[in-house]
Amino acid sequence: MKVTDTYITGTGHWLPESVTSQWAVEAGLYSQEDRDADGFIGACIEKELAPPQMAVNAARDAIDNAGIAPTDISVVFHSSIWFQGVDMWPSASYVAAHAAHSGARAFDLQQQCNVGLGGMELASQLLTAMEDGNILMTTADRFGGDRIDRWKTENGVVYGDGAGAIVLSRNPGAFRILSTFTQAENDLEKVVRGPEFRENPEAGIIDITSRFTHFIGTGGMREAAGRLVSAVKNSVAGALEDADCEIGEMAHVVIPAVGRTKLDWQLQELIPVDLDRTNWSFASTTGHLGSGDQFVGLSALQAAGTLSDGDKVLLVGGGAGFTCTSVVLKYSATNFGTAPSTEEK
């Protein structure tokens, strides 16, 4: 989908300290074999703040980065894949009240790890129908407690805690959104569903790997893998085509933070770019941030000061379900932080 006159005017992220994967190995939490194979240097671990509190910190940075006032936010979308600190509770309303203002329309979004970019596609379409205002999007997850083992819940993935935020606007900003493209294969939700539905949430530590194993036992993995590959390829190709770009024009590619056992295959088969054009060196220190890899990755890229005027950036997200969303951005150093507040109009 071609996108016109829509910008990311501000980015922000909030990350707790990272503990090293070698520490986890020595503590008996992580195997040396998995560490060597996947290449994670560490994972961010939050010990106090709930995810919406982390999201507020990231949102405040994004709003400041956009050069607007909190009251300029019209809509808030908050995304996550895991527990937000309270059962049956609107976490987006908390983020809106504490980072924007009480009157902002606030909604929680979910679509597993693709929810950030999938939500961006929805928000960009909503923004075209708005006469004025800005949309704040936040992501936050914390993989603590006794239900998640961040080092072992899923093969090839180490889960990290953190929050990301972007501000979308019709006013020119640092990143112009050129295109978005989502490819869906919804019946592939069965890959991670497991053998049965349950009356209550499953007890004990969540074991996503065992769900994969069950699905493999049904004999459908070869077909599912082929369709997943096609979905990602179609998403990337569609976004590039709608942006009138080629993959070689992308100065940076922000990818899901998965281990090298998954990533090397993805870069060879799905997103044909060299590792040094991706954000892997950063992502390997944070772990997989659930809903937040792309927003945090983009914010960290901007904060690092390595972007040049005119750089094109490809964001790629995928989530169990299965959906894949790709987004093409163009960076403008001259538009950085120039969006006016309504108080200045």
- The whole-number pLDDT of residue 336 equals 61
Q: What is the DSSP string of 172-218?
A: --SEEEEEEEEEE-GGGGGGGT-S---SSPPPSS--HHHHHHHHHHT
- The whole-number pLDDT of residue 339 equals 43
- What type of residue is 194? G
- The whole-number pLDDT of residue 169 equals 97
DSSP annotation of 307: -
CA Rg value for the chain: 19
Separation of alpha carbons 263 and 318, rounded Å: 13
Q: Which residues contact 304 (CB under 8 A, 6 or more apart)?
A: none
Backbone angles phi, psi at 304, to 5 degrees: -70, -20
Scored b (16 or more CB within 10 A) or e, 30-69 reads beeebbeebbbbbbbbbeebbbbbbbbbbbbbbbebbbbb
Separation of alpha carbons 180 and 6, rounded Å: 11
Separation of alpha carbons 224 and 60, rounded Å: 41
Give the residue from 74, 303, 239, 99 showing the smallest Cα distance to 171.
74
- The whole-number pLDDT of residue 342 equals 36
Looking at domain 1-336, its CATH class is alpha beta
Domain locations in the chain as residue ranges: 1-336
Contact 104, 74 (CB under 8 A): yes
Q: For every one of its 345 residues, what pLDDT tens digit does the chain have, with 9 covering 90 and above?
A: 999 999 999 999 999 999 999 999 999 999 999 999 999 999 999 999 999 999 999 999 999 999 999 999 999 999 999 999 999 999 999 999 999 999 999 999 999 999 999 999 999 999 988 988 999 999 999 999 889 999 998 999 999 999 999 999 999 999 999 999 999 999 999 999 999 999 998 888 988 889 999 999 999 888 998 999 999 999 999 999 999 999 999 999 999 999 999 998 888 888 989 999 999 999 999 999 999 999 999 999 999 999 999 999 999 999 998 999 999 999 999 876 544 433 332
Give the residue from 343, 339, 341 showing the smallest Cα distance to 7.
339
| Helix or strand holding residue 22 (H, E) | helix 21-26
Separation of alpha carbons 191 and 212, rounded Å: 6
- The whole-number pLDDT of residue 302 equals 97
Q: What is the DSSP string of 54-107?
A: HHHHHHHHHHHHHT--GGGEEEEEEE-SS--SSSS--HHHHHHHHHS-TTSEEE
Contact 296, 12 (CB under 8 A): no
Separation of alpha carbons 86 and 67, rounded Å: 32
Angle at 173 between CA 57 and CA 92, to 5 degrees: 35
Contact 178, 245 (CB under 8 A): yes
- The whole-number pLDDT of residue 343 equals 37
Helix (H, G, I), strand (E, B) or coil at 168: strand
| Helix or strand holding residue 289 (H, E) | none
